[in-house]
Amino acid sequence: MAKQQRILTGQVAAITGAARGIGRATAEAFLREGMKVAIGDLDLATAERTAAELGHGTVAFPLDVTQRASVKAFLDGVEEQLGPIDIMVNNAGIMQVGHTIWDEDDATTQRMVDININGVMFGMKEIVPRFLARGRGHVVNVASTAGKGGFPGGGTYCGTKHYVVGVTEALRAELRGTGIEVSCVMPVVVNTELASGLTPTRGVKQVEPSDVADEIVAALKEARFDVFVPRSVAGITKVMNLLPRSGREGLSRALKADQVLAQIDPGKRAAYELRASHSDPALEAGDPTRQLTP
């Protein structure tokens, strides 16, 4: 007998980094399910514009996921306006690629660690106690298929996503029996600004933000942990894990997966890279000691 799917209507969801891209698409998908949605983003103006465009009572808040106090303020604001949070989507992340590990400047490395790792950690640390107090809730951490392998040109990014996969698995084990669900989202390259100028792979095409959002909704209804997008990647991952290292690396080269983050088009990525470089309020434009890689 098929397991009955959960009804999401009326549930409150908080999504980080939701002014655009996967976060925005997820907010749209949630609204179609009749949920109450709050989006948080460092770019408050865009977040507010997105909330207005989405309508249906969507609210926007300023959010710097690198600061735990900001994450707490975001969640407090959501609960004050919409009620207790049922679903937390830790989505905020950046991807600055195209550099070898030894050539990547320290500020770029630190920024990806601050957003992609600490942002997820602060989200979990702030939401889980609230869920435990109520005996329910669902944590959704957005990782990447890059969290299942290491790819040239994106060492730090892959490392941060490995962390998200690992810490989400640990959280699932720690919360077993509490009534709180956990999901780890692992999409291939998604057709957003973050993926502009990347080299396409053979056999696995880019997916749309809406594809990721739909799978997140399905995972919430099914209480599913592994959320590969597309789902066929789950099978590819299983096959890769059965191969010896030489086989995995050979297949990666055959699929051109080893070129995705290394052979990039700087012109097409310029706008995104610049915005990612300016995502730290503490950075001063042109500061040679702290400026992120352009």
- Asked whether residue 292 is domain-assigned, the answer is no
Q: Look at residue 280 in the predicted model and tell me its pLDDT.
A: 56
pLDDT digits (tens, 9 = 90+) for 197-212: 676 666 667 889 999 9
- Asked whether residue 291 is domain-assigned, the answer is no
Reported as a pLDDT band with limits 50, 70 and 90, residue 292 is very low
Looking at residue 283, the DSSP 8-state letter turns out to be: P
Reported as a pLDDT band with limits 50, 70 and 90, residue 93 is very high
Average pLDDT of the residues in 161-183: 98
- Asked whether residue 2 is domain-assigned, the answer is no
Distance, CA of 196 to CA of 70 (rounded, Å): 29
pLDDT digits (tens, 9 = 90+) for 215-235: 999 999 999 999 999 888 888
- Asked whether residue 192 is domain-assigned, the answer is yes
- Asked whether residue 285 is domain-assigned, the answer is no
Catalytic residues: 157
Longest dimension (CA), the chain: 62
Q: For the chain, what is the domain count? A: 1
- Asked whether residue 263 is domain-assigned, the answer is yes
- Phi first, then psi, for residue 59 (nearest 5°) are -120, 150
For 54-97, the DSSP string reads: H-TT-EEEE--TT-HHHHHHHHHHHHHHH-S-SEEEE-------
Mean pLDDT rounded to a whole number for the chain: 87
Q: Look at residue 46 in the predicted model and tell me its pLDDT.
A: 96
Q: Is the pLDDT of residue 178 over 80?
A: yes
User: Partners of 183 in the beta sheet?
Assistant: 140
Average pLDDT of the residues in 132-143: 97
Indicate the SS3 state at residue 140. Answer: strand
pLDDT digits (tens, 9 = 90+) for 236-262: 787 777 778 777 777 677 766 766 676
Q: Is the pLDDT of residue 149 over 70?
A: yes
CATH of the domain at 52: 3.40.50.720
Average pLDDT of the residues in 2-8: 83
Looking at residue 118, the DSSP 8-state letter turns out to be: I
Distance, CA of 149 to CA of 168 (rounded, Å): 16
- Asked whether residue 235 is domain-assigned, the answer is yes
The angle formed by the CA atoms of residues 234, 13 and 161, to the nearest 5 degrees, is 40
- Asked whether residue 283 is domain-assigned, the answer is no
Respond yes or no on whether the N-terminal peptide bond of residue 230 is cis (omega within 30° of 0): yes
Q: Which residue's structure tokens are 């997008």?
A: 229
Looking at residue 190, the DSSP 8-state letter turns out to be: B
**Domain interval for residue 121:** 12-277
Asked if 87 contacts 14 with a C-beta cutoff of 8 angstroms, the reply is yes
Reported as a pLDDT band with limits 50, 70 and 90, residue 290 is very low
Q: Is the pLDDT of residue 15 over 90?
A: yes
